[in-house]
Each structure stands twice: as structure tokens, then as C-alpha cells.
Structure 1
Amino acid sequence: MTDALLSQRPTAVRAAADDALPEVDPALAARCRELAARGIVLLRNDGALPLRPGAEVALFGRTQKDWIAVGYGSGGDVNPPYVTNLLDSLREGGAVAVDEELAARYESWTARHPADPGEEWGRWPRHFPEMPLEESAIRAAAERCGTAVVVIGRAAGEDRDNVLEEGGYHLTGEERSLLARVGAAFAHMVVLVDTGNVIDLSWIDEFEPAAVLLAWSGGMEGARAAADVLTGASEPGGRLTDTIARRYESHPSAGHFGHTEATEYVEDVFVGYRHFETFAPGDVLFPFGYGLGYTQVDLGEVTVTVSGEQASVQVTAVNTGQRSGSEVVQVYLGAPDGTLGGPARTLAAFTRTPQLAPGESVRLELAVDLAEHARYDDSGASGHRSAWVLEAGEHRLFVGPDVRRAVHVGSAHVPSLRVVRQLEEVAAVRPEHAFERSVLRRDDEGRALSGRETVPTARVDLPQRILDRLPETIPPAEDPTARFEDVTAGRLDLDRFVAALSPEELASLAYGDIVMDSPLGVPGNAGTLGGVTEALRARGIPVVTTTDGPSGLRLAATAALLPCGTALASSWDPAAVQELAALHGAEMVAKGSDMLLSPGMNIHRDPLCGRNFEYFSEDPLLTGEMAVAVVAGVQSQGVSACPKHFAANNQETARTVNDSRVSERALREIYLRAFETVVREARPRNLMTSYNRINGVWGHYHYDLVTTVLRGEWGYEGNVVTDWWMRMEPDPHFSALRDSAYRVRAQVDVLMPGSKVHFGTTRDDAIEDSLARDGGITLGEVQRTARNVLRMLLERETGAGRRG
């Protein structure tokens, strides 16, 4: 979403109140603090952390005061009652003694040089200038304190990708100077990076800090959580959800990101660790899944039991350290090369141990179904084009605390290639846009090499597919005055109610209200849908109020500012995330939100994507499990979640025109898999399309993604909405369709909001116009969309489909 007329909440916001204000449930605030800490990743530690009780600590860097709690844009534009900062949080905790002389200088300087959050949409600063600090002041602080904590802050966001510049992906000269001088003066230098997105960390080897914490944007309680981790009140529970490379240029997407017209996904299925662990392990600074704790939890006594294609991995985890702590147990699968080739390792299962006291152990069991990790053949190389196939040979299982340290523990043998699911080609690359993708090759000694092959291109007659699958028209109703409460009460079948609606009423259900902050919903809402006209409300059709989003309710009222998506995913703890989401759902109920535009679940294809903070991971399995947790938690309260952005929304630059050119195999294995998981396991009532094109077709017009895959293959029965506004276009295949008629044919049900152009006041007339034209949209198609919307409303009214 984007709305340049809405006031922008500063990224660095006001300091904490003494206590959580009553506008936010204390239980929700406490869970935010807990999850923010559990998502903080300890990357390096020579014993400097946790800070010893009573230690005198000098804080450097303006972000200690101007804490970055969330990224930019609609995904972070929440009105919280307070946001904590690190300086005050350490004072509040009282576990260490903050150097007040240095702190007073930072407080005075930041007051005189306030962080400018920017006023224009998409032009926010990625960092804030540092306070000049003379050498003598640093040395004086070192004489007073044994430990320094240097805080580095970064932000990116919607319409604001990061850039390969100082102050963006790279450190500024001021920051480098500060690290060099503080590191030279102090016996122990701890660096805390407060960011929503991965930035360059190669300087760690240059400046050699004693400890490094990666604190993702943790919301209103994020700085308190960081203070808890620094002082040992909480363990640094985070594990990386992305690979951190030594150089940006090592990422397989480098050189194929940020283009304004089209982006070729040349890395194909070798995204993130799938590339690095297969082709370039030496390019990794910190591997996927990595993170340290304040104790040592050893994994041993591994037992693997295999029955056909099912594997059970039992692991004993023992806390051999001196403090309480936990570990994330990760299982990876190494499939044989077979006919299709693939990554050396893929995440197959994971779990987090409970908190273990020193000497305590726990026995864990993780299940792996080989069929769930089949490969998709989009070329026919296996002899089964457009099918998920399980390759013959040895499928090796690895267990460990991250992808690099996972060790081989057993294997399952597949005697011959098996077709898991035969499907049909969808959303393939157009022949005129063919490009070369990465594939696995081997040299004479069996070493993996990154080869190239031309991506398979589309062969389907899409117009004929659409015409062959047009829905039947529901015959006219016997009672044209039927009301929706007759359906909710079970007195009338939903189809018979749809049949009673006039073409104008049917069309009206395909639009949200014409503005954001709709007068039909609570103040500050993102828009409304459902009963948006007087005629629909006269039928008893309720109004649904939507709100952003992944980081909290975007309303005029105050609301909790949650840890960002990456912070939550870094916990590797779906059960805890579901509990947080349930509390968030309760806040929705209390404050009048019916539909949360969350979770954001696009893949971290490239570290520069501005909205990565809203999303979870470079891995689709981890992303899917986190999305299930959010949807299940929210919908347990009777309200609805709305996963987004479907699909391949992996950059913000030119997002409304950029064409994501991606093979069908990569689309299915990487970019659609998490959406399939959340649809099958959590049954979200709503889902949002993306702004970008996917192989030439905008997400909000994409028949194959929405009708063939989402609804046909996955059985989705909910409502599909556009992202806020959409690009108006004629249907290239059917001349009598354009704009919303083109959209409805794809089963993208609701234009949100229902305006023709940004900030317009009228609804487009494309549906009614097309209904009246030869070869136009059919009444059955418009009825089908109305049924999708009404089915969602029916579940909302009756509580059907709720999950705990």
C-alpha cells in the first residue's frame, strides 16, 4: 500500500513512557518484548556478553537514542503509545551503569539535531548522521568504562529499496571512524546493529569487535529487548533467516535487482543458502540458521528411522553450559542430482528446544516427508513435464544448529523416480523473454559448478484455457429480496442469495470503498469492503474494515508496534509467534479491525529489497511456517488475516511496472511454496495480490496464479484483494474486457480501495460495461466473485473456519 497523503510516522520516534499505556494490552506488550529478544542474533562473542552486573558501559552512536523500531511505509506506519530506546532502557533496567557524561552529550546533541524522518513518501533517510566526537572524549570514556557498546542504525522500506552506498548497505565514513577509534580505546567493544534489513557486515573482520548483536527492528519494545539481551536478562535467541555474505556481489541476484522494467531471476532455485552451500561456501560470512547463545546446547544421540519416503529424526539436546538457554534444531535434506539437479541442502524441518537449565536435556523428534521436497520439472528432463517428481537415489539427512554445521545422520533411498503430482504448466516465461538460468553441473572430480541453460518457455493457450473453464451462471432466484442474515442463519443457501443480487449489486461487491480511512470503518482504517453501498447494506451485507499490517494496526488510535517479520522469523519459534498473533487478533477485535493485511511473506531474494523487514526469510519452508503461525493466531480470534503479496514481489524499485521473469520451477519451489503452505494449513480468509508483473502479467490480473494454482490446485475458497489500487489495463486476450472486468475474470475479487486512480472518488465501470458487451465477462464470473466475497463474510459472521 502507499498513500502519500497520510502523515508519516518517524522511524526514530519518541522515547519510552515509564510504563506501558492502557491503549495496549500489557500481555501483548510483554510478548512483543519477549519475541523481539528471541529474534536478536548474537553473531560473535568472546565473552564480553552478557555485560556483567554493575558494569560501567559507554554507549556510542545516536541510534542509542534515536532507536529505529520499524521500517518505512504502510508496513510500519503504526501509531504506538510509546517506543523504547536503548539508553533509557539500560537506565530503566539498572543492571549496568551507563556512562552518564557521554550519554548527556548524546542527549543534548540529538535534541539539537533531531533525526529527520522525511516527509515525502519513499524519500525517507536510510540512516541518520552521527554526532561528531573528538578523540579525547572517547579516551576519557574508556578511562571511566571497561566496555563500549556502539549502535549502528539502518532503515529501508516500502518504495525505498536499500542501495550500495555509504549510509545504505555500507557503513558511512563517520561510522567506520567511530568503530576504529572506539575499538582502539576500549578493552571490549560490543557492536549492536539495529536494522530491519541485512546490511554489509564485512567490517566485523576488519574492526574485530568483542561481540556483535544483530537486533532486527523490534517494534515498540525492541530497545528494551536489546537491553535485556545485553545484560543477560534474556538470551539472544535469534538464528539467521538469511545468509550473510562477505560481499554483496557474491549474492546470486547481484546484477539482477532494481531494474525498472524487468528482472530476470537468473539464479532460479538457487536462492540464498541454496546457492552458497552448493556453489560458493567460501563467500559466506555467517551461514543460514546461524546464531550463538549465552550457553552451549549440544546435539547428539541422533536416531534416524526411515519407512519408505517418511523419515523420523530423533535428537537429544543437552545444555552443557553454565546458563539456561535453548537451541534451534535444523534438519536439512540433500537430494541426489538426478535429472533436474538442485541445491546441496534444503531446509526440511526445524524445532526449537524448550528453555533448558544447565545439565538438562530433551529428546526431540522431527518428521521429514520426502515427497514434500520433490522438485518441479518445468522442462521435461525427467520425462514428466509440469510435474513434481521425487528423484531416484540417496536422499541424505543432515542435523545441526545451522546449515553449515549440520552433519550427515542418515539417508533414505528412493528406488526409482516417482511422480508426486502431475499438474499443468502455469505462468511460464514468455518465449520472447527467454533468459539463461543457473543449473547444477559437475566437473570431472564431482565438484559442483554453476552452469547455464535457457529457461523453458510458455506453451499453453491461455485464452482457450480460460474459455474452457468459465463458470456456469446461477439461475435467477425465486425471492429477489433475500437478505444475507438468511444465509448466516442457515435459512438460505449462499448460491440462492447470490442469484437474488442484481448485476449492479454483484459488481459492487467487487470493489472496496472508494477511499482509505473509509467513513464506514474505524478512523484511520486502510479501507473497507463488503457492504460498501447502501443497496448492499440494505441486503444485510456487513462492512469489513481492513488495517495494515505486519507490524501492527495502522489506525488513528494508538496500537501495539510489533517486532518486524524478520525479527519474528529469527526466533524460529512458530508456537510463540502464534501466541503473539492471537494477542494481536484480540487487539483487532478491541479496536475495530476485521481484516489484517498481514503476514507479508515474500522471499528475501536480495538483501537490498526495502520491504525485507516485513517478510520472513530467504527460505520458503521457514516463511510458510511463520505465516501459518500468524494466520492461525489472528484468525483464532474470529477476525481475518490477509497474506501478501502474491507473488514474486521481491523489490520496491518500479514495483508497479517491473516484470518478475522467473522460471515456473523457481516460481513453484521458491516463491509460491510458502503461500501454498499457509493456504493448505491455516486457511486464510483473504489474500492480497502484488503490484508487479509475473512473466508479463500483473499480479491482479494473473488468471493462472489465482484461478489455476491458488483456487484450482490448492483449493483456496477465500477472497482475493488487490494491493491498494492497481494498474488499469485492457485484457490482451479478450477485447471486451478491461480493468476490473479483466481482474474479475482472474478471480481477483476486490479492488482495494474501489477508486479508479489514486485518490480518486469514482469506481471504474469496467464490469458493468463488459457485461453488456458481446464477448465480455459473463454473469457467472461476476456471481463467482460475489460468492467468494460473501463466503468470506459468512465465515466472519458464523465463525466457521476459525483455528486455534
Structure 2
Amino acid sequence: MTQKKTGIPLEGFAEFSRKAAAEGAVLLQNEGMVLPVKPGERVSIFGRIQKNYYRSGTGSGGSVNVAYTTNLLDGMRSKKDIIVNEELAAVYEKWLIDNPFDNGGGVWAGEPWNQKEMPISEEIAGAARKQSDKAIIVIGRTAGEDKDNDDTPGSCRLTEEEQAMIKAVTGYFEETAVVLNVSNIIDMSWLDSAEYKYPIKSVIYSWQGGMEGGNAIADVLAGEVTPSGKLTDTIAYSIQDYPSTKNYGGEDKNLYQEDIYVGYRYFETFCPEKVHFEFGYGISYTDFSSTVLKAEKVRENGGDYFVFQVKVKNEGGTYSGKEVVEVYYEAPQGKLGRPVRALGAFGKTALLKPGKEEVLIIKMPAAAMAAYDDSGVTGNPYSYVLEAGEYRLYVGSSIKKASLVKIDGKESSQVEKLTVIEKLQQAMAPTEDFTRLKPGKKKENGSYEITYENVPKLAYSIEERIKNNLPEDIEDTGNVKYLQDKKHLQNEKYSRDMKQPQDKGYLLKDVAEKKVTMEEFISQLSNEDLAALVRGEGMCHPSVTPGTASAFGGVTDRLLSFGIPLACTSDGPSGIRMDGGYKATQVPIGTLLAATWNPELVEELYTLEGKELLSNSIDMLLGPGLNIRRSPQNGRNFEYFSEDPLITGKFASAVVKGIMKGGSNATLKHFACNNQEKFRAKVDAVVSERALREIYLKGFEIAVKEGGANGVMTSYNPVNGHWAASNYDLTTTILREEWGFQGIVMTDWWAIMNDVVSGGAADRKNTHFMVRAQNDLYMVVSNFGAEVNAYRDLTEEALKEGTLTRGELQRCAKNICEFLLKSPSFKREESFSEEAVFVEPGNFDREAGNILEGEDTFVPVHKTPQSVIEVKEAGFFRLMVKIRSFGDELAQTSCSLLLNDTQVATIQIGGTDGHWIKQKLVKVELKEGMYSVELKDVKQGLEIEWVEFKRIS
């Protein structure tokens, strides 16, 4: 398929991402104003990461092919008024030639957390001091999909080499700043080590800023941008201090015993003394004052709101800057138990010049302070309630720097009697006994003793809930053919007549033009059509944008004939992943974006992302990721926003709204509790309903209700015994019925499902349980595998046996088609047919040998990476490959297939455990002549034995 704009990054997008990357830098310490480096100052830069800049974490969330990557050293060199120590830079650049970047051999999840560091001798450090007044040390870390962080040197802690480097540098430099080019918060205990002759004066988290991140942090270090980022996680003194640590990393299950007390909710409630740098903290090159001019409770649109007028003034005399104002609330402990503080709202100023001020208006709904009663202890089971008592509000620049604010002149806002905010029903409750944290006796410092209580368990029948909410079959009013299946008719559980409808010639565009209803259109589809429609195909489908994650919708000729387009998804969230070399813009990681505390900026950034998706004919970005950063050990934290659900929801909403403004769609992932990467495909998240609703699902809820999200991806893992991909209460009861979600839900790639009622063992064949849960799409079967049921799923068999109704399958089909009607694919002509890739013949020396005839030819490529075939008669050919990989089934590897130096297909596969399989590729149109066949960028662990040219016309 020809895509005129495929692989051409959107003009101006990378440059704008530089602005966002700079705004998310978090300055934690800056004694004596070591930063910024001022005009005329000389600086020595240490650490190989000054050149080997990490632009993102690893795995699907970081796999963006970019035209270039900036780095910190070159970014600083571009500042004409700053003198970089080029002698030291030359030493590093020479050393890097002999010590290249280690990518782990290109194997999935093989890249190490850190890179070998150049030793810094006394001679090197001393010579640098003679050249420079200041030192900058750059330290880097990465992690990602299938690769958690670890509480060891080289991951969360510094290596001996890095510690020695810092000791050597601080032995000579009185003024040292450390830049952390990391995907996640790391242990900071080294910061105040007594081994340093001169203390480290400054430390800044630059995070990973995408392809322009090197330039962005240079902008900050040089003072062209004043840092205004704030932490969206708590940095404790040790990873062992986090309440999740003792229950992290299990293979079979993970008890969420800390319950709602995640991150700052735990530390501020139980042990504030264990906090090194608090949530919401970050300093600037200038000073701000904040004055609450007015704080009142008002009634608007049937609800109560707290409204704050806060005057922020730049009190400095040199640097312009932005400041964040954070609002926290303290609820009475009541019967439920509450955190000492919780974030309720926030706002950020525009850029304020020295002496200038701005009045921020910040609104917070009173209902945001409600807690969920999952036990009935308040007398209102399964409800959000405000218990009676005093609710206090605090305003400031971090959770520890927030001061009590009087509301309408009073010390607190009084709730006279318990108020029910929202009455729901029990959903997703655990089925096993365990205990959870609860505040006990209040201590003198305002924190609480730790106590435990039993977690409420499941008290309803999922089977009855499903049975009572079964959708009616959409009847075909024309002639129908009844299948006489006695076994089915005898089934007592979900007896339905199996009907094969008549094709009436209705097209999906007839629905768009209101000529027929969606129900009338869906009624035409046979059981086979419906079963194929809920199967997505991929990765790197030849009929959609090359190198992308999946194709769904018109995956068979029959479905295409009904006018159902073939839509396309791409991995994200920090840019478009197109395996095979096509270029895109890579933006900063989620950690950095949330650290801006500026959702408006992020929405603007992702509007450009939406435009780039549209130009590449991509209908959905598989992002944002919005799992809660429960633990610093989660390797995929870089894709996510925060330990706090409000921050998470607000920034996910910004991403969703931006992408939609740009013309494409976003996918919220991973729904839910994908909070560790090790054993991510099977570890059961055992968690209370209260923690789910208040913490782990809340960000998704905000993104649906405020962001208008119309795409969700379920996670690999089970939650309380039910795999997310077949979890009825997750995808139907909560997502659709309670939140009003309208869109499609898809599985993660090659997910497994278990019985929607009884749980138990899981298998990827269990798509009937997926459909029953109203998870619409199975992602993914092999390319061209939907029609032939390549994974031998049980959907059609369940229809015959009566364990799945036709109405349930039609419900998923309706969700998919409703989405497709509004997707970019519906406006693209190529979405309704498979186009052949045309390649011109080339000139080759016949005497060179190895010329094969291109008529059903098997071209061996396992030993000879380039061969030449001769086509004696022009025509259309289907390309096939024989391929294998030695990784596990969730590993991903790829290469490009070129004919005459033209990329015609991306060959991609998950792990096959060394078994050879055949894979169908693109259709090509070839003239009479000769063509070179070449594989490019073959990743380690991938083997291809031959490429077949099979004539089809």
C-alpha cells in the first residue's frame, strides 16, 4: 500500500516537544545558585550519558524510529556564551569509540539498565578543574516493558563506577550539579554522602525528553528555560520504605495490602519522616510568593465547589518562571479511615517575568473528597460518601509546603451529616481473605499508627449479573436459516436459536447516511462474520501503515464487502512505532509530561501527535499509559504519570483530547492494575474494591468522563482472579454502565482469558469469555488469520453450545462498527481493499550468478541476505516467509523486506520458542525483469529461512 506521507514526521512537532521536555525538568536542589550555568562560565561535563542520551524507556512504549536524537553535550555546545571543556569532551568521545553503547544485542528486554561508565582518575578530574569552574555529572537509567527496575546498583542505586566518578569530581569541584537522565525516580541516598570533599550543590531530574530531550535539558542548564517541574511521586530514603515493596514481584499473586495508601497517602499518614523529597516538590531559579486572596464554597450546576483565588508573584529579579499551586484536602478519619492529605486540584501560572504576578482561579468539587465504602460500615455499602466532620483545605507549592486555608473565614468546611455522593453496586471485589492498612491512633506529630482490617469479599453472583443483563439478539427480519443443533437446544444455561442471516446489501456507509440503523446493518452479519470481526490481526499487517501494531475491522473480504474499513493501531504513547525504519516524532515520556503540571501544554503537544497519526493513516495510538506508579520498581513507570490518580486522570485526559483534536484516537491502557512487568501476564492483583475505585481505576474514570476517551486496552493480568481481558465487571459494569463509556475495548497483544464467571485457568482461545465481558477485540491473531480462525478460538463453538449468545457477539460488533464510523479509516479509500505494492525492476549482472526465477519461487535468505530473482511475466504476487524466533510469546522482533532497495513489508513476530512458522505478507505488483531480495535490520533472535513469491494473477 502506498502512503505518501508515511514516515515523514510532522513539521514543527519535534521543536514543540522540546518546550514540553524543558518544562518537565524537576530541580530538587540548587545551593548557591550553581545552576544555571551563566554566560562566560566554563563547565566540565562528566558521564557517558552526556553523549549516549536516553530519549525513552524500552519496549513498545519507546520503540520509535527517529530522524535524530539530541544529547546534552551537543546541546550545551550550542550555547554560544557557555564554554564547554572540549578537552574532557574529546576524552569521552574517544573512549566511547572503544566502549560503544550496549543495547543488549537488540533482544527484546535485553538492554541493560545502565551503561558502563568511564573511570575518572585524579589526573582527569584535576585537569578538568583547571579548565572549568563548574562540573555537571550526567547519570542515566532505563527500564521498560518486560524489564522491571531493581533495588540494586545499576538500576535504582548507583554503581560503584558512578559513585567513584562523583567522588572524584567533587574532590576537585566546589560547584557540582548532577543531571538524572532517567525513566523513573531512583534512590537518592548518595546525594548527601560524607565521602565527598565538596558537597553536591545541585541535582535535577531531566527524565527522558524524547528526541529533543538533550537540547531541552541544555536549555534549562543554560538558564534559557527556568525549571518549573514538580515531582508526581514521593522519593523516600529507601525503596524498602515504600509499603508496596514487601508485596512486589510475586509470580502468582500480589497483595495490595497498602490499599489506598499509595505513595504520599502512605508516607504523610504513617511515616512522614521517611520522605527524602515530597510529592509536588520542585524548585526554580527564581522565588515566588503565593497569597490566597479568597477561598469560598459555592453552589454551581447542582454541586458544591471550593473556589480559590491565589495570587502568585515572581519575587526574583533575574529569571522569569512558572509556578504551580497545589490544593490538598484532609478528611475526617470517620469509620472508613482516610489519608492525612490528598490532592484535590492544581493550577499553573503562565511565564511570569521578575516582579510580575498572576491570579489563579482554582476549582475543586467537594464531591472529590468522598471515599468509597466497600464494606457498609457507614451504613451505605458500595457508595461514595462524605462522612460527617471537618474537612480542611491546604494550598501551597508541595504537599509539605501547603498551608491551611480558611474557607469562608472558617478553619474548615463542615459536613453536618453523612452525605451519599454516588450509590453504586459491588464490583470486582476479591474472593480471598487478606488484610489492609488502616490508620489507628493519632500520634503527636499528626501521623497515625498502622493497624490492619479485613478486606470485604465478593458478595454477589457474577453469573446472575451477566444473565440479567444479556442483550437481545438483533433479529434478521428477512429470510433466515435455522441451524438444527439439538445439543444447543438442550442447553439450559443460555439457550438461543442459532440463525444465519441474509445479506441485504446494506453497507456501513448506509448507517452513516441514516438510511438504515446500526442494528439493521449488524443483523446481516453471519456468525462467521461476527467471530472474525472481533479478531484483530497483526503485527505489521501488510494492508495498513507499515510496521504498526494491528489491523481490525475489515479483516476478511466479506467484511470489506459490507463497507467495514480496515483500521490501524500503532504503539505509543511517546510517539508512533513503525517497525521497519519509518520515521516519526518521539515526545517526552509520561513521567516528564506529568511533572510539568501543565495539562494544557500536554494537550497542545498531543494535538500535534494526532495530526502525525492522521498523516500516517493510523486510527488509534496505543496510549496513554495511566497505570498508577505503585512502586518505583515497575520498569514501565516511564509511560505512566504518577502515584496519584488525579494527576493521572488529568494528564490522560489531556493526551486523549489532544489526539482527538489532531484527528485520530487514543487508547487508555493498561486496564487495570498492570503495576509490575515481571510475570505481568499472569500475576493476580489481589486488591480491595475501595482501592480499585479510589486509586487504580480513578484515572481511567477521569479520562473517560472528562477526556472523552473512546478506546481502552485491558491488561494482561488477572484482577482478583479474573483476567482483565474477560473481566465483566471491569469492562461492562464499571466502564460502560457506571462511567458511560462509548467506544471499543481491546485486549493487550496475545492476551489470555479465563471463565468470566468462575475464573480458573486462562487461555487465548477463550475469546467467548472476552466477548461475554464486552471486551470487543482480541489483539491479535496472525495476519490474514481472522477468517481462518488461526488461533482456533472458541467463539463460534460457544455460539453453537449456547455458552455465548449471538446478541453478545452482535453487541461487540456494534461497538466496533460505531467506532469505525467515526474513525479516520472510514474516510480512506484504501481502508476498503488490499492494494498491491508496486516495485520497478532493476539492472543486475546475469554473470554474477544466484539469479532465481520468480514464479512460486522460494528465495533462501538464511545464509545469503541478498538474492536476485527474475520475473519472466508481469503480474501480482503474494509474499510469504518462513520464520522463527527464540523468545517467549510476548517478545517482539522484526526486520524489513526490501525489493530493489524499496521497503515493501515489515516482517514482525512474537516469540515462537524456536518453532518454524509461515507468515503471509504483502501483495506486490512486479513487471517483467529482475529484483533483488534483501532483509534489513534483522534483530537478534530472529531467523528467516526463505521468502516465497507466489503468483496470484
* TM-score, structure 2 as length reference: 0.79
Task: Say which is worse superposed, 760-769 or 393-402, in terms of deviation.
Answer: 760-769
The equivalent of 2:840 in structure 1 is none
The equivalent of 2:856 in structure 1 is none
Structure 2 CA distance, aligned partners of 1:127 and 1:78?
20
Structure 1 CA distance, aligned partners of 2:785 and 2:265?
40
The equivalent of 1:698 in structure 2 is 723
Residue pair 2:539, 2:782 contacting (<8 A) in 1 also: no
Deviation at 1:123, TM superposition (A): 2.4
**Partner amino acid, structure 2, of 1:482:** Y
The equivalent of 2:20 in structure 1 is 35
Residue pair 2:231, 2:278 contacting (<8 A) in 1 also: yes
Deviation at 1:22, TM superposition (A): 9.8
1:751 aligns with 2:778: yes
Deviation at 1:84, TM superposition (A): 0.6
Residue pair 1:147, 1:186 contacting (<8 A) in 2 also: yes
Cα deviation digits, residues 144-196 of structure 1 (max 9, x gap) = 11100000100010000001111011100011111111112112111001001
Structure 2 CA distance, aligned partners of 1:745 and 1:51?
60
Residue pair 2:137, 2:177 contacting (<8 A) in 1 also: yes
Task: Say which is worse superposed, 38-47 or 481-490, in terms of deviation.
Answer: 481-490
Structure 1 CA distance, aligned partners of 2:779 and 2:263?
33
1:768 aligns with 2:812: no
The equivalent of 1:276 in structure 2 is 267
For the structure 1 residues 183 and 444, does the alpha-carbon distance in structure 2 shift closer, same or farther, using more than 3 Å as the test?
closer
- SS of the aligned residue for 1:299 comes to strand
Structure 2 CA distance, aligned partners of 1:682 and 1:87?
39
The equivalent of 2:522 in structure 1 is 498
Deviation at 1:24, TM superposition (A): 2.7
Bigger Rg over Cα: 2
Residue pair 1:215, 1:226 contacting (<8 A) in 2 also: yes
Deviation at 1:725, TM superposition (A): 1.0
For the structure 1 residues 733 and 660, does the alpha-carbon distance in structure 2 shift closer, same or farther, using more than 3 Å as the test?
closer
Percent identity for Structure 1 against Structure 2: 43
The equivalent of 1:255 in structure 2 is 246
1:466 aligns with 2:457: no
1:298-447 to structure 2, matched below 5 A, reads 298-307=289-298, 309-322=304-317, 323-410=319-406, 411-430=412-431, 433-443=432-442, 447=447
Deviation at 1:481, TM superposition (A): 2.0
**Runs (5+) with no aligned partner, structure 1:** 1-20
* TM-score, structure 1 as length reference: 0.94
The equivalent of 1:619 in structure 2 is 644
Cα deviation digits, residues 575-595 of structure 1 (max 9, x gap) = 000000000111111112111
Cα deviation digits, residues 379-408 of structure 1 (max 9, x gap) = 111111111111111111100001110000
Residue pair 1:42, 1:292 contacting (<8 A) in 2 also: yes
The equivalent of 2:899 in structure 1 is none
For the structure 1 residues 454 and 755, does the alpha-carbon distance in structure 2 shift closer, same or farther, using more than 3 Å as the test?
farther
- SS of the aligned residue for 1:239 comes to coil
The equivalent of 2:627 in structure 1 is 602
Residue pair 1:427, 1:705 contacting (<8 A) in 2 also: yes
Structure 1 CA distance, aligned partners of 2:232 and 2:793?
45
The equivalent of 2:35 in structure 1 is 49
1:509 aligns with 2:509: no
Structure 2 CA distance, aligned partners of 1:763 and 1:756?
11
Structure 1 CA distance, aligned partners of 2:671 and 2:95?
45
Residue pair 2:280, 2:397 contacting (<8 A) in 1 also: yes
- SS of the aligned residue for 1:298 comes to strand
- SS of the aligned residue for 2:78 comes to helix
- SS of the aligned residue for 1:645 comes to strand
For the structure 1 residues 385 and 728, does the alpha-carbon distance in structure 2 shift closer, same or farther, using more than 3 Å as the test?
closer
Deviation at 1:715, TM superposition (A): 0.9
- How many residues end up aligned between the 2 structures? 776
Deviation at 1:477, TM superposition (A): 4.6
Residue pair 1:725, 1:758 contacting (<8 A) in 2 also: no
Q: Which of these residues, 272, 281, 289, is aligned with residue 290 of structure 1? A: 281
Q: Which of these residues, 769, 779, 782, is aligned with residue 809 of structure 2? A: 782
Deviation at 1:465, TM superposition (A): 1.1
1:214-229 to structure 2, matched below 5 A, reads 214-229=205-220
For the structure 1 residues 527 and 797, does the alpha-carbon distance in structure 2 shift closer, same or farther, using more than 3 Å as the test?
closer
1:92 aligns with 2:92: no
**Runs (5+) with no aligned partner, structure 2:** 1-5, 407-411, 479-502, 828-953
Structure 2 CA distance, aligned partners of 1:450 and 1:659?
25
RMSD: 2.1
Cα deviation digits, residues 484-531 of structure 1 (max 9, x gap) = 111122211111111111111111110102x30001211101111111
- SS of the aligned residue for 1:398 comes to strand
Task: Say which is worse superposed, 358-367 or 731-740, in terms of deviation.
Answer: 731-740
The equivalent of 2:110 in structure 1 is 123
Deviation at 1:372, TM superposition (A): 2.2
Structure 1 CA distance, aligned partners of 2:38 and 2:123?
26
Deviation at 1:754, TM superposition (A): 2.4
1:79 aligns with 2:65: yes
Deviation at 1:799, TM superposition (A): 9.6
Structure 2 CA distance, aligned partners of 1:549 and 1:253?
27
The equivalent of 1:541 in structure 2 is 564
Deviation at 1:636, TM superposition (A): 1.1
Residue pair 2:555, 2:784 contacting (<8 A) in 1 also: no
Residue pair 1:755, 1:761 contacting (<8 A) in 2 also: no
Task: Say which is worse superposed, 781-790 or 130-139, in terms of deviation.
Answer: 130-139
Cα deviation digits, residues 730-764 of structure 1 (max 9, x gap) = 55549999600010000000011124999998143
**Partner amino acid, structure 2, of 1:183:** T
The equivalent of 1:663 in structure 2 is 688
Structure 1 CA distance, aligned partners of 2:113 and 2:414?
50
The equivalent of 1:169 in structure 2 is 156
The equivalent of 2:948 in structure 1 is none
Deviation at 1:797, TM superposition (A): 5.6
Structure 2 CA distance, aligned partners of 1:214 and 1:155?
14
- SS of the aligned residue for 2:703 comes to helix
Deviation at 1:444, TM superposition (A): 7.5
For the structure 1 residues 757 and 604, does the alpha-carbon distance in structure 2 shift closer, same or farther, using more than 3 Å as the test?
farther
